[in-house]
A and B are shown apart, each in its own frame.
Chain A
């Protein structure tokens, strides 16, 4: 929003075009900046607004969603969840940095070894499968690398959301299924490629 203000002041200074029509976003800016409502509104809806997952949500729906989420604070080095834990939470990284570890095959020791597989920063999300599965088992370990704030939505909250605001819940589930289906498609193509390579290798051996 500040960028719009800067843009306009620059346009005024340089004597450039200033729009004749009032545009909605500037109205919204003034509305959000006004002293009565401005102090109350938290920065969380605006943060979620920028998330790609929730792009089909309206502002009002985001506000509803925020009421069902929990803000959790983690210190540097604190474990968010362990591999093998029962998972019920879907998290957004509100601030800080989260690293995800998982057991992967280690060629040096010929055994499973914990390896870092991803780093998540502000705006990223993780744990979305736990909302969809009946008994979700975490298949990675998430650790806060620095002081981190997470926004979590948990299974009980999702149940309440379905009961109270079915439309918001449906939109959320749609977004999560989009993530999951995208990943599934990626995995399928990956698997195809791996299978193809495997067939090729085994075919060469048998020859």
Chain B
């Protein structure tokens, strides 16, 4: 009996060291861990297709290959068509920025005069110059970074499909290896919790992906119909920023607002564009969100706002996007511990 207890302690220590090593490796090797995470997200999005095919009587390997090939087929054509347009638009942005800048400075001066007339308070110039230099440095950073991005994207183009394929094929056997390593004394709890976490985060990512693509597609289509410049870039921006709760839709609308104001001034185009953004977000808020997302992440709005702010403080935009699933995971773990300590006994 004493021997078995010592062995159990050893197993526990081994298991936690194993998990810790995995986490450190993920944090320490971003060149591998980022494509791994991207392919994991892709895996969560396409995996439900595999059981559906298996139900039709196909073997595991064949259904995985089918899903993988159809995904490649579906992804490659749009990417080949969209990427040149996107690159073209991104290149044009840098020539377009001065126009926006002069427009913004002119209007800021007008506002300054107006406020001074009314309240005798002079708005400082610092706000504007700070904002402009921030945006400028941000965009040039992005534009200068393009070659390195391209290099890493080429690497991703090879790695992500590879990882994705093996996630699809061997995901369950990897899970079984980890489960076999899990010590007896914490097995049931670990299995249950990891399953809950995985399911919640997977559902959340899937729902957010669908939500962002719906909003992105509506806005891109609307902007293309209205024949507004940079429609694709603006649509994708709106889709991506839509992932951030509450602030995201506003963030996504700002660039479009600036472009339209600088190009067309105050007029019908601006009204139409704002209407488009309002309609897209209304569809999101009243149709997509209640059906898809709200049931998955039942976080209180206050908690959502706090986690978004904390995320943005430490990790910027990425932090804002990642903060919600992390907060949901944390909540699940805390509830589990709470019930373990207070209710079970």
- Spell out A's residues near B (CB within 8 Å): 70, 72, 74-81, 84-89, 135, 137, 154-156, 159, 163-164
- Residues of the A chain whose Cβ atoms lie less than 8 Å from the Cβ of B33: none
Question: Per-residue 0/1 for B229-265: is the Cβ within 8 Å of any A Cβ (1 yes, 0 no)?
Answer: 0000000000000000000000000000000000000
| Identity of the chain A residue whose Cβ is nearest the Cβ of B198 in the assembled complex | A156
Known A164-B51, A164-B54: A88·B4 in contact at CB below 8 Å: no
User: In the complex, are the beta carbons of A74 and B188 less than 8 A apart?
Assistant: no
- Residues of the B chain whose Cβ atoms lie less than 8 Å from the Cβ of A81: 188
- Residues of the B chain whose Cβ atoms lie less than 8 Å from the Cβ of A80: 184
Closest chain A CB from B242 CB (angstroms): 29
Known A78-B8, A84-B344: A156·B1 in contact at CB below 8 Å: no
- Residues of the A chain whose Cβ atoms lie less than 8 Å from the Cβ of B16: none
Known A86-B192, A88-B188: A78·B4 in contact at CB below 8 Å: yes
> Can you spell out 6 A-B residue pairs with CB atoms less than 8 angstroms apart?
A75-B3, A76-B1, A84-B344, A86-B192, A156-B191, A156-B195
| B14 touches A (CB below 8 Å) | no
Binding site secondary structure of chain A: mixed
- Residues of the A chain whose Cβ atoms lie less than 8 Å from the Cβ of B4: 75-78
Bound CA span A85–B189, Å: 9
Closest chain B CB from A193 CB (angstroms): 32
User: In the complex, are the beta carbons of A72 and B192 less than 8 A apart?
Assistant: no
| B339 touches A (CB below 8 Å) | yes
Closest chain B CB from A12 CB (angstroms): 43
Binding site secondary structure of chain B: helix
User: In the complex, are the beta carbons of A86 and B188 less than 8 A apart?
Assistant: yes
- Residues of the A chain whose Cβ atoms lie less than 8 Å from the Cβ of B188: 81, 85-89, 154
- Residues of the B chain whose Cβ atoms lie less than 8 Å from the Cβ of A164: 51, 54-55
| B152 touches A (CB below 8 Å) | no
User: In the complex, are the beta carbons of A84 and B345 less than 8 A apart?
Assistant: yes
User: In the complex, are the beta carbons of B344 and A86 less than 8 A apart?
Assistant: yes
Closest chain A CB from B201 CB (angstroms): 14
- Residues of the A chain whose Cβ atoms lie less than 8 Å from the Cβ of B339: 86, 135
Bound CA span A76–B7, Å: 12
Give 10 nearest A-B pairs by CB, closest first.
A77-B1, A75-B4, A156-B195, A84-B345, A88-B192, A164-B51, A84-B344, A78-B4, A88-B188, A89-B188
Bound CA span A76–B3, Å: 10
Bound CA span A142–B192, Å: 19
Bound CA span A76–B179, Å: 21
Bound CA span A156–B199, Å: 10
Which of B176, B180, B184, B344 sits near A74, CB closer than 8 Å? B184
Closest chain A CB from B60 CB (angstroms): 10
| Identity of the chain A residue whose Cβ is nearest the Cβ of B185 in the assembled complex | A79
Residue of A86, A154, A163 with most partner-chain B CB within 10 A: A86
Bound CA span A83–B267, Å: 72
User: In the complex, are the beta carbons of A72 and B345 less than 8 A apart?
Assistant: no
- Residues of the A chain whose Cβ atoms lie less than 8 Å from the Cβ of B51: 163-164
Bound CA span A75–B3, Å: 9
Known A70-B179, A137-B344: A86·B187 in contact at CB below 8 Å: no
